[in-house]
Structure 1
């Protein structure tokens, strides 16, 4: 699958909308204190201390931020006692990376964006009946959250490690905000009648964003991730999406599973940080 700059811009707009909606919901929940500021086609977001929504996303496809705009953003994050984290696609306007480097941003990590066209003609390798996946509603949010938190507490050792860690309560706040404001759907997988994994999905403007998945350590290497992936792709196809995207750590088991399922590497985001 070929990724043009136009497709990358479309995916980054979806990411920008997701972050904007989640951060705005956090501000409403907390009665203010955060911010979402449009920035050269992207957004600068701060939800609450330690949140995964604290980032600048979507830059590089609608012009370059001015010096005054970057000064303002950096002052906002400084006032919130938070570093500025910019996630910059490698298909973005090249002068932007040079500008940020000159301002003292340092490269701390990468993340890969993979995609697959829908409808997807490949088949799942999950044995029939071995694993079941169901939608997870608000009545079992704590169960869903426990799976995600446990999964992230025991990350897979394959590939490049993430530079971030989030406590359970922060993950809970972010997911509640994203579910309420951005329409993120949650799913739970069971294996041999035992809860084994959890995942989430957002559908927007023909794009299916696979917004996270986790498998409990005791159930890894048993097809749980593949089952969660297949279910979400089927939901996205039924909803009329033409592409599904997933973000992974480079070289991770999640990336390997996605590529086995037919996903192609579309582009890489550089994670740039300024304290």
Structure 2
């Protein structure tokens, strides 16, 4: 096109998907161990093929199996042992499965009685290419320290329990108590926190972590009263700048299909890389 610059989309092959899923395994494992240490929960972090089975407490967003499909299919005995471990805690076995993983795994889980309950999208941004995101006036984003953790936590929890209604809803919704506990666990695991201020008022919070050159952009939320003012874009811009400074080549964000977060990510240059299906087997 004359007079315009065509942006090259970030293509996700199975190698990149495997890197991203390894980063997810590392994240879930770190937070799950932090939960056990912080709360004394009798949890577990059990390697399973290329992934991990995590129990961080009943009702925790970190109680699930992630990262499967890129290092062989678990045996029936391995799956049975994991299912029994979750059943012992009175919770279902929930598996997040990337569609770029081994297709034999989905068939194996279906044969064991797993039921499809939802999807989430993994979007990525090529950090080797410059992306200039405008930050609206009146918004300041900075790293957030322990001295303001409680007000930061209050804003993030409030944002989480009042999600945008656009798009497909999450397959499971967590109460405020579970979200608060999960955020305390992620803080204990060392995720970097960011606070956004709109005209001097704490309006939003977000998290950030790097693994194998993958920048994971997590936990972003804006208080309902401050939405549609550019807070999310400002927090995204700050984390992307830090990701580049840390030497990362890909930034990743996870959203619900068709959601406002999905829309905002694509507007900011993110490409849809792959989808994760949530497969659940009841005790």
Provide the residue aligned with 2:6 in structure 1. none
Match of 1:216 among 214, 223, 236: 223
Residue of structure 1 equivalent to 2:14: 5
More displaced stretch, 20-29 vs 108-117: 20-29
The answer as to whether partners of 2:160 and 2:179 remain within 8 angstroms in 1 is no
Q: 2:76 aligns with which of 56, 59, 67?
A: 67
Q: How many residues align?
A: 273
Question: Aligned to 1:200, what secondary structure does the other structure show?
Answer: strand
1:107 pairs, out of 111, 116, 141, with 116
The one-character-per-residue Cα deviations of 1:129-185 (angstroms, maximum 9, x if unpaired) are: 32110111111111111111111111101100012222333223322322333x311
Displacement after TM superposition at 1:32 (Å): 4.7
Q: Residues 232 and 120 (structure 1 numbering): CA distance in 2 closer, same or farther, change over 3 Å?
A: farther
- C-alpha deviation, 1:31, in angstroms: 3.1
Q: Provide the C-alpha distance between the structure 2 equivalents of 1:186 and 1:168, rounded to a whole number of angstroms.
A: 19
Partners of 1:211 and 1:197 in 2: how far apart?
Answer: 13
Residue 54 of structure 2 contacts residue 63 of structure 2 at CA under 8 Å; is this kept in 1? Answer: yes
Q: For residue 276 of structure 2, give the secondary structure of its aligned residue in structure 1.
A: strand
2:83 maps to 1:81: no
Normalising by structure 1, report the TM-score.
0.96
Deviation of the 1:29 alpha carbon: 2.4
Structure 1, unmatched stretches of 5+, are: none
- Give the Cα separation in 1 of the matches to 2:39 and 2:161: 26
Shift of 1:120: 4.1
Is this contact kept in 1: 2:52–2:68, CA < 8 A? yes
Report if the CA contact (8 A) 2:41-2:57 is conserved. Answer: no
| Offset from partner CA, 1:229-275 (integer Å, 9 cap, x none) | 00000011111111100000000111111111100000000011111
Aligned residue in 1 for 2:188: 180
Secondary structure at 1:241's aligned position in 2? Answer: coil
Q: TM-score, normalised by structure 2?
A: 0.93
Q: Does 1:161 align with 2:179?
A: no
User: Which among 194, 199, 209 is matched to residue 192 of structure 1?
Assistant: 199
CA separation in 2, counterparts of 1:266 and 1:135?
A: 28
Counterpart of 1:202 in structure 2 is 209
- RMSD of aligned residue pairs (Cα, Å): 1.2
- How far is 1:192 from its partner? 1.4
Q: Which residue of 2 aligns with 1:28?
A: 37
State which drifts further: 197-206 or 228-237: 197-206
CA gap of 1:232–1:72, structure 2 versus 1, over 3 A, is same
Distance 1:29 1:199 in 2: 21
Is 1:136 aligned with 2:144? yes
The runs of at least 4 aligned residues of structure 1 exceeding 4 Å deviation read none
- Per-residue CA shift, 1:66-118, capped at 9, x if unaligned? 00001100100000001111000000000100110111111111000000011
Corresponding position of 2:3: none
State the Cα distance separating 1:4 from its structure 2 match: 0.5
Name 2:26's counterpart in structure 1: 17
